[in-house]
Chain A
């Protein structure tokens, strides 16, 4: 029998349950997160136009760089201010 030592971090990632998808966007605040990829802003500008036309409240956010995870403060701000969030991966 061969016995080896586990090379992994052996941790189980903490699972945070997702919020249920809303039936409708009516009355909700939509966060738009630009990850700072080129032209992601153009995509989100258009989405914002469409959402505002429907009478929704929109909040815009931007990650400092797409190469690093969003700062924890930014994540908290989005969670506090918004009901749903749309993130733009673009290029």
Chain B
């Protein structure tokens, strides 16, 4: 494509038009009048022969003139004097065109005014290309070129930049488009990512979000999620390095979940929804690529879990009997948040016969006790994802989240004599000195009840937590900002 020699506008009147605009067609007689009586230059965006009536006509083929002079609407009429723009007007308005040009009786057959059309230079399908070509935006990241004969996907894999699944090649165009998803500066450092404790900018996160398959509107969620895990409270380093299989599990609350098309219903923890599938994966790629956390190196998981590819879903807020789970962290309903929970893969629990809240709570308690080991208590948090067929029982009985949590925890209390090392002929267990205590499975605020899942199925799901407290990890909930 031919580049314009100069983007300086000539002296006198300048009009920017395109043929594919009824208002530009409409003002052709006016342009002819101005061409006869003033020093007029016309730049045309689409058809180099439009308008044929005007001789001093230039083709803004690469849209350089339009882009550099921030033309958003055609026609735009500009007056240039001594190299400077004195005045401009957009669309057709007889009074304004007469005022700018100093010529009266313009377009007497025309209506007084008519709005213009969008300039080609702001066409969404071209904007990214133009920004890259002309804009001041320059990436800080190193540019890596692959040879013509290299298979891009193989090359990305060979460099160790993927999780084993194919990634979207992070081209400049795609990363620039991704960065449109946030108002934050690409240079802003969002977090220090373990294990290499590398400072991580918005730009680096955008690159990895492109690779994960995110759309630009997911980026604020990814940024918040990276921020949440890279805290001392969450202890991403430990979660990565542990021999246990856990990974960050993200629960999104607030209107953003619907706005970006997240799934909180049928198959919410499964495949098929782009936002759910890619947000968690983007965070994992940041840990891998920016943090340097790779399996077999600092990541010492014995089994790992599918959650380590990326695990993210939204809470089913619309028909939930409870306020969003983010309320446990002081957020008011309607706030966009992401909860980072150090969890493992989900497992289903069945109770198709209970129809009263207390018997369902007993089913929950019986299942939750087994997290990691039935004889290990207080050391592990959990997400209990309650599906609508179950939650209805609690909403009909008027049970709040707190009431249900309290009842479940109460039902998990067992005497220390059953839990200590050696009890029940099992060496695993809690230390002998705790024998005299009655102990619940969960610490205060350890159980996170989330409303989620499809409308059919008398099930709930459990996501067991990693070691909690100062020794391990604590869930972190942060607000998502644009």
Q: Please report A residues at the B interface, Cβ cutoff 8 Å.
A: 1-11, 13, 64-65, 67-69
CA A4 to CA B289, docked complex, whole Å:
14
Q: A67-B241, A68-B238 known; A10 and B141 CB under 8 Å?
A: yes
CB-defined A-B contacts under 8 Å, sample of 6: A1-B146, A3-B144, A5-B139, A7-B170, A7-B204, A64-B470
B433 beta carbon closer than 8 Å to chain A:
no
Tell whether, in the assembled complex, residue B143 and residue A68 are in contact, meaning their CB atoms are under 8 Å apart: no
Q: How many whole Å from A13's CB to the nearest CB in chain B?
A: 7
CA A12 to CA B320, docked complex, whole Å:
49
Q: Which secondary structure dominates where chain A touches chain B?
A: loop
Tell whether, in the assembled complex, residue B235 and residue A5 are in contact, meaning their CB atoms are under 8 Å apart: no
B222 beta carbon closer than 8 Å to chain A:
no
- Interfacial chain B residues near A11, Cβ < 8 Å: 196, 198
Q: A1-B147, A67-B235, A67-B242 known; A9 and B172 CB under 8 Å?
A: no
- Interfacial chain A residues near B143, Cβ < 8 Å: 3-6
| Nearest chain B residue, comparing its CB with the CB of A13 | B196
B152 beta carbon closer than 8 Å to chain A:
yes
Tell whether, in the assembled complex, residue B200 and residue A6 are in contact, meaning their CB atoms are under 8 Å apart: no
CB within 8 Å of A: which B114-151 residues? 139, 141-148, 150
B71 beta carbon closer than 8 Å to chain A:
no
CA A61 to CA B301, docked complex, whole Å:
26
Tell whether, in the assembled complex, residue A9 and residue B290 are in contact, meaning their CB atoms are under 8 Å apart: yes
Tell whether, in the assembled complex, residue B144 and residue A4 are in contact, meaning their CB atoms are under 8 Å apart: yes
- Interfacial chain B residues near A10, Cβ < 8 Å: 141-142
- From A2, A8, A9, A68, B145 is in contact (CB under 8 Å) with A2
Instruction: Indicate the size class of the contact surface on chain B.
Output: 35 or more
Tell whether, in the assembled complex, residue B146 and residue A5 are in contact, meaning their CB atoms are under 8 Å apart: no
- Interfacial chain A residues near B207, Cβ < 8 Å: 5-7
Tell whether, in the assembled complex, residue B147 and residue A7 are in contact, meaning their CB atoms are under 8 Å apart: no
Tell whether, in the assembled complex, residue A67 and residue B467 are in contact, meaning their CB atoms are under 8 Å apart: yes
Interface centre among A9, A64, A69 (most CB of B within 10 A): A9
Q: How many whole Å from B163's CB to the nearest CB in chain A?
A: 12
B171 beta carbon closer than 8 Å to chain A:
yes
Q: How many whole Å from B240's CB to the nearest CB in chain A?
A: 10
Q: Please report B residues at the A interface, Cβ cutoff 8 Å.
A: 139, 141-148, 150, 152, 156, 161, 169-172, 175, 193, 196, 198-200, 203-204, 207-208, 211, 235, 237-238, 241-242, 285, 289-292, 467, 470-473
Q: How many whole Å from B288's CB to the nearest CB in chain A?
A: 9
Tell whether, in the assembled complex, residue B171 and residue A8 are in contact, meaning their CB atoms are under 8 Å apart: no
Tell whether, in the assembled complex, residue A7 and residue B145 are in contact, meaning their CB atoms are under 8 Å apart: no
Q: How many whole Å from A3's CB to the nearest CB in chain B?
A: 5
Tell whether, in the assembled complex, residue B144 and residue A9 are in contact, meaning their CB atoms are under 8 Å apart: no
Q: How many whole Å from A37's CB to the nearest CB in chain B?
A: 11
CA A4 to CA B146, docked complex, whole Å:
8
Q: How many whole Å from B107's CB to the nearest CB in chain A?
A: 49
- From B147, B200, B204, B470, A65 is in contact (CB under 8 Å) with B470
Tell whether, in the assembled complex, residue B290 and residue A7 are in contact, meaning their CB atoms are under 8 Å apart: yes
Tell whether, in the assembled complex, residue B211 and residue A7 are in contact, meaning their CB atoms are under 8 Å apart: yes
- Interfacial chain B residues near A1, Cβ < 8 Å: 145-148
- Interfacial chain A residues near B199, Cβ < 8 Å: 9
Q: How many whole Å from A54's CB to the nearest CB in chain B?
A: 33
- Interfacial chain A residues near B171, Cβ < 8 Å: 2-5
Q: How many whole Å from A40's CB to the nearest CB in chain B?
A: 14
Q: A9-B196, A65-B471, A67-B242 known; A4 and B170 CB under 8 Å?
A: yes
Tell whether, in the assembled complex, residue B142 and residue A9 are in contact, meaning their CB atoms are under 8 Å apart: no
CA A3 to CA B145, docked complex, whole Å:
4
CA A73 to CA B145, docked complex, whole Å:
43
- Interfacial chain B residues near A64, Cβ < 8 Å: 470
Tell whether, in the assembled complex, residue A9 and residue B204 are in contact, meaning their CB atoms are under 8 Å apart: yes
Q: How many whole Å from A57's CB to the nearest CB in chain B?
A: 31
| Nearest chain B residue, comparing its CB with the CB of A8 | B289
- Interfacial chain A residues near B142, Cβ < 8 Å: 5-6, 10
CA A8 to CA B290, docked complex, whole Å:
5
- Interfacial chain B residues near A6, Cβ < 8 Å: 141-144, 207
- Interfacial chain A residues near B170, Cβ < 8 Å: 4-5, 7
CA A80 to CA B380, docked complex, whole Å:
38
Q: How many whole Å from A87's CB to the nearest CB in chain B?
A: 15
Tell whether, in the assembled complex, residue B289 and residue A7 are in contact, meaning their CB atoms are under 8 Å apart: yes
